[in-house]
Amino acid sequence: MKNKILLRLLCATPLLAAVHLSAQTWQTVDDFQHAVGKPASALALGADASGNIYAAGNGTDAAGVGHALVMKSTDAGNSWATIQDFNYTAGVASGFNDFL
């Protein structure tokens, strides 16, 4: 398997894109929105010793309430699942802070 570089593009609707080191083309593997038409942002990307990749950020639900979200990929970024959808108090915005 060729090595891949995984990039989290920070924008109104975060995209996960992967490119093979020897390739000349890009492929979108996840175009994430917590709710259709609502903003989302990515703040961090990391990996563990088992090769799982994690992306953390914020998303707004259909009612306009913010959520702190953690996504996980177990297959080198080809697919993603939400593993944490945190909202401290129902109806009140929660989210991660960008400390950078």
The answer to whether 31 touches 48, Cβ cutoff 8 Å, is no
- Measured distance CA(90)–CA(3) in Å, rounded: 42
What pLDDT score was predicted for residue 13? Answer: 45
Into how many domains does the chain fold?
1
Decide if 69 is inside a domain. yes
pTM: 0.69
What pLDDT score was predicted for residue 60? Answer: 94
What pLDDT score was predicted for residue 98? Answer: 59
- Measured distance CA(1)–CA(4) in Å, rounded: 9
What pLDDT score was predicted for residue 23? Answer: 55
Domain residue limits at 52? 4-86
What pLDDT score was predicted for residue 31? Answer: 81
Decide if 27 is inside a domain. yes
Decide if 93 is inside a domain. no
| Strand spans (E) along the chain | 4-9, 15-20, 27-31, 40-47, 53-60, 66-73, 81-86
Mean pLDDT by 10 residues, the chain (100 residues): 42 49 68 90 91 93 94 91 91 76
The answer to whether 46 touches 53, Cβ cutoff 8 Å, is yes
